[in-house]
Structure 1
Amino acid sequence: MSTMSIGMARGGIELKQFFRAREQVVFTFAFPLLILTLLGSIFKGEYPEGVTSSHVFTASMVGAGIIATSFVNLSVSVALNRDDGTLLRLRGTPMSAVSYFIGKVVLVAVASLAEAVLVLAIGKLLFGAPLPSTVDKWMTFVWVFALSVVSCSLLGIAISTIARSAQSAAAVSNVPYIALQFISGVYINPITNLPAGMVTVASFFPVKWVCQGFRAAFLPDSMQVYEMAGSWELGKTALVLGGWCVVGLVLCLLTFRWSNRRA
């Protein structure tokens, strides 16, 4: 069997394990829905072409939900696989590290798509949030989604190595995730309300570009004047997220361990 076929088979197992853990499924999907409902109900800003703050939050929360499902959840689940000996058992099979990575990416892709559908459904039902209006915007959604899933999944696997145990993995991943959400404009709109220095720092990380890419897909082009650069910067978004895919893969290959430090 090839590396890809083993990885896809592993992805099927990962999906079964995830959806059988009902509490994990409920809280993974509920968090972005809760945040969207709160932010969309509290802030009442209005923009041209009938766009409201809740529409902006809906687009941004699609990205934030993907990052939580990939970066945060994988950092914990991989650390747990390492602690309970799952990775050592897998090491004794024909599965390579790359196949294991592919399995995790498959899990994140399916879970993130389901979460995106739920976020958009809540945004549409509660706030009348728009969906992509043209084929080009749907294509933007597809490639931003794909690059977001791959880059953030690989970074989640890589950061799991920093955590000494599964118990500490949540703290290791949640601190940068929450901080980057604030300085990347997920909870603040428009992003121009943030200090330029904060946004400059956020520009080095995927969160800003993921959420900006989804805003480009879901919001009318008149809204791009409210971005820091005054445009969607789709070329730069693809470049940054593609670069993080490469960086994440290199970090995974260099740092991935089948067992914890005690073992």
Structure 2
Amino acid sequence: MDFKKIEAFLCVASQKQYTAAAEKLYTSQSALSKQMKQLESEIGTPLFKKTSTGVELTQAGWEFYYYARHALPELQNTLAHIEACKGRAKAFIRFGSLPFVEDYGISDTLCSFWAKNPGVQIEFSERSQEDLIYALQRNKLDLAIVRLDMLDHSQFSTRKILTDELVVVFNKHNPLAHRKSIDLESLRNEQFILPTERSDLSQVFINACKEHGFYPDVPLTHSRHWMLLKAVQRNMGTTVMPRGMATPIHASDIACVPFDEPIETTVGFAWLPGVSLSRTAMEFVDFVCTSYNE
């Protein structure tokens, strides 16, 4: 059986839509549908049934799902360790992070580890929180730096690196830019430029606004925080982001104002509790957490 089909099956099962699953797997909907039909033919029974919104697992599909969700990570973990033993490196770490290591200065710590451990091969990628969690669950990554406050801690082991607070970033000409702190009600009539809707930080802010009886006006979104800051500099609107990502810009034409009631976010490592990290991976976690806070 082709294990790529099993990985695709798990993705369809979790997304409950061929369109969403195909996008996550970087393939076409028709190719994914063909894979699932081949898998069902190999097993000898339908695994999915159509619904009004997409698909859901049949009883046989649920039986196969329970097997696949455990078998596939074990296979991938074994293959990764075999690959690491081929002599290309003394140790191998598959590591992912949210795209902010440069802003928080974590990149310097990572480079220090690599410099002191030249025999360690590190496969590094930057992805969204959702994609990192998905990669961890499918054993595509050993470790990931994510926002721990936006994580289901029952499914992961974690280690904190830092805690940051959300701030409102105004153009200096905005009257609210001169306040020492801001309440959500005062932002009711502001026009916002926020990270994309997939961003957990955006959802945290939007949900906070909803609790105060309004939905923020967000005519523009972007996946990169530095583009949001440039838009604020050009007086196109206001944004919300962690202070650590906003203050390194050192721009005189923007102001970072904290909330009256602080909204904090915690950054740290996450990994699957059922998968034993290698000694090198644990040394990597210890080094980053200790060195960053020295």
**What TM-score do you get using the length of structure 1 for normalisation?**
0.23
Instruction: From the CA coordinates, give the structure whose radius of gyration is larger.
Output: 2
Task: Give the structure with the larger helix fraction.
Answer: 1
**What TM-score do you get using the length of structure 2 for normalisation?**
0.22
If asked which structure has higher relative contact order (CA below 8 Å, sep 6+), I would say: 1
